[in-house]
Structure 1
Amino acid sequence: MVTIRRFDNADAPAVAGIIENCLREVNSRDYPSEVIERMCAHFTAQRVQELAGERQMFVAETSGIAGTVSRDGNKVHTMFVHPSAAGRGIGRLLLRHIEALAETEGYDHMETSASITAHDFYRRLGYVDVRSIETPFGLNHILRRSLL
């Protein structure tokens, strides 16, 4: 069973660990090591706490924290699921949770900046490509999904 709840500051080390594991084990297939190192250095426990203060952040729990996502209005941010929990629908549950919140607040679409690694995940869940951009962390795809 998966429970989605609001992030608590005590979750920061676990969330930072999930992000690092994802980056090193999964995203490293699509990005050079220097980009992975830069991303890992960016997503420290302290930075995760700062981001949670700027956005609504959520975690998915099974027998521990298995994933995270955050949102700012209708923007999806920091979506990561621990590689050992991948393929169980946790990412979909997290995404649908924040989409429902955004829809309740009157937004008609969601938008995200997805890594090369996450691009197909979002497309499978109904997001469509808007454009691609180059970021300090490499190529990202901007995708959008209608909530109507």
Structure 2
Amino acid sequence: MIELKKGSIADIPLLWALRTRAVRRVCASHYSPEQIDVWSASPPPESYLRLLATGCAVIAEEDGQWLGYGILDRQSGEVVALFVEPGLIGKGIGRRLMHALEAIAAEERFTRLHLYASLNAADFYRAMGFVAIRDEPYEHPSGITLRSLYMERALPAHSVH
């Protein structure tokens, strides 16, 4: 049975390894090999320390195996990360993680969530109710620019206190 747990600073290396596998296998369908090489080789951003210290990371696991994770910035309402183990995409793990991030957003009284979607993830986010506002270059911390979609979603009124 899939369980959701809070992530901690100590989890960053494993989270980043999962993210790197996802970038290499899933994002390669929409980005050049050169972009994937630089993107997947980059280290975790310093912001992960702050984000995980605030209890805003959710990890999906089953029988001790990590299936995916999501991170919400409690200060801005931005979905900073949502990655699922590549071989498990399409099994509802991303949806469960997004619902958990929405619950955190409701605790913070956000009325909207926003994110920068990689092109391969845009359909998932649309299915979760996000709307593409603009096609926008994303300045990745590694120094490359990735084409992305800036997307937003209103939270249901009942989730806001």
TM-score normalised by structure 1 residue count? 0.89
1:36 matches 2:36: yes
Shift of 1:11: 2.5
CA distance in 2, matches of 1:71, 1:137: 22
Aligned residues: 144
Gaps of at least 5 residues in structure 2 are 139-143
Give the structure 2 partner of residue 143 of structure 1: 151
CA distance in 2, matches of 1:134, 1:10: 31
Q: Deviations over 1:39-71 (max 9, x none)?
A: 1122x3xx26x4332212221111311101111
Letter matched to residue 145 of structure 1:
R
CA distance in 2, matches of 1:62, 1:51: 27
Contact 1:114 1:142 in 2 (8 A): yes
Identify the range of structure 1 (54-63 vs 7-16) with the bigger mean alpha-carbon deviation: 7-16
CA distance in 1, matches of 2:127, 2:6: 25
CA distance in 1, matches of 2:98, 2:88: 15
Give the structure 1 partner of residue 49 of structure 2: 53
Shift of 1:88: 1.2
Identity %: 28
TM-score normalised by structure 2 residue count? 0.82
Give the structure 1 partner of residue 13 of structure 2: 13
SS in 2 for 1:31: coil
Shift of 1:114: 0.4
1:123 matches 2:121: no
Identify the range of structure 1 (101-110 vs 119-128) with the bigger mean alpha-carbon deviation: 101-110
Shift of 1:100: 1.3
SS in 1 for 2:23: helix
Moved over 6 A (4+): none
Provide the aligned C-alpha RMSD in A.
1.5
Q: Deviations over 1:91-135 (max 9, x none)?
A: 111111111111122110111110001000000111111111112
CA distance in 2, matches of 1:82, 1:51: 22
Q: How does 1:28-107 map to 2 (within 5 A)?
A: 28-42=28-42, 44=43, 47=44, 50-55=46-51, 56-63=56-63, 64-73=65-74, 74-107=77-110
